[in-house]
Structure 1
Amino acid sequence: MATKGTLDETVILGFGSGGKGGVGKSTLAVAAARILAEDLRVLLVNSDSVRTAVRLIKRGRDEHFPFDMADAVDELDRLPELRHSNDYDVIVVDLPGTKAGAFEAMLTGHDGKPIADLLVIPSRAEFIELEATIESIDTAVIPAGIPYLLVLNQVPTKRRDRAMQHRETLRNRKNHQPVVVAETLITYSATYFDAHEAAMTVIDMPGVHSYARGLEAEQRALVDEYRTMLNLPAARRR
């Protein structure tokens, strides 16, 4: 592993769900922490009472999760303190799985600015799922001025074309502010369940030519989008 860098100030990357639960929020948060930790000092903060990330990491091996973790359920009011950390370059926050309290927790720090430098909002790409998420973005996220990125997650292979259509429609809304949507689509795959059962992310799933490598490439491409939006240094490819 390359020597980890040190940034001038800590970056806060939040993962919240604007609609239904079960959209892969914690999976994306852990994958982001895993990839960013190859180059930077990373802390993953869990504030989701389901504790998906906590249970996964506790079952896993240290080399599969090369970052620190803090369990902060019921401590959303302390999230502003993260901004003052000098021990980490990036703090990834896994927010509650439903709308309640998740966006509000990221709104205002002690200096009146949003706590999160970037709020990642995963959603399935089907309209019935997107509708509630977009409503949350329009009514809570955009008015608060939080930099955000909508990620179309768990996209079935046969529905990729439809997902891309939704992505372009959201980017080019006529009567509303355009939605910031990730270029990377994250494919739905049972391999994610296999990885969770094996107590690792798809990044560490074995097999040079396995299906996991395609999923890993998607996760790395998505993290590159986070890096660009946050002005983080480019990844040091291994």
Structure 2
Amino acid sequence: MGHANIADLIGQELPYLRRYARALTGNQKTGDTYAAATLEAILEDRSLFDAGHSAKVALFKAFNQIWVSSGAPVDQADGEGDGSPEARAQWRMAGLTKHSREVLLLHAIEGLTTNQIGEVIGVEEDEAVELLRIARSEMAKTVTGRILVIEDEAIIAMDIMAIVEQMGHHVTGNARTRDAAIEMARKDPPDMILADIQLADKSSGIDAVAHILKEQGDVPVVFITAFPERLLTGERPEPAFLITKPYSEEQVHSAVSQAMFFASSASITT
């Protein structure tokens, strides 16, 4: 496999690796650091990308090797650290079954099969299946809260609200524009925001979220978009939790549970 070909294959999958890394760590900067370390490792050792796997599996497998070799940071958590959102998240992650979060994200968000997940994390498929079952059970116990939905398409908004309400969350309302979202958040501050990128009046869900976070501080955020590659460029603050349209109910469950688990948003900074 030539260098140019490898570069092309990596380039196609890199936005999704960034998405996975940010969801796994709960932080854009930390996630991007792991993604960058993965690329450096591949440049130094091409065999990481020549194992006969698909480009996505090969890339994610290389990432997992970096993640594991870093010393499994979640296992190093001691108490609540310095009290920062990231430190609290790492402390809480220590209580989860080993590999369960990775399996959940790889399956629900990245769309990998349990066989592919096994290849990525180095386990047999039946173990990946069991880890997925455990992950779903553990994430279902995540604290519930009040969610503001920002979505201009009525049918999609109704579907999302039904999903999160079935999870035990309370929906504070649905906003179709940036200004409506800001006003709703002021009247009824949410514990979490689930937002589309492009809104009805051509306003931006990202701008709405950034404004709300500026006024209210850290709130976990999940973004929804039909064009993730336009957002995951590495050139500006980006979401740690991102769902791609068309989405599945499981993707919404996973992203919302993950975001609530971290109980903070490193997703957008201003």
TM bucket (normalised to shorter chain) is: 0.3 to 0.5
Normalization by structure 1: what TM-score? 0.34
Tell me which structure has the larger Cα radius of gyration.
Answer: 2
Higher RCO (Cα < 8 Å, 6 or more apart): 1
Normalization by structure 2: what TM-score? 0.31
| Bigger fraction of residues in helix | 2
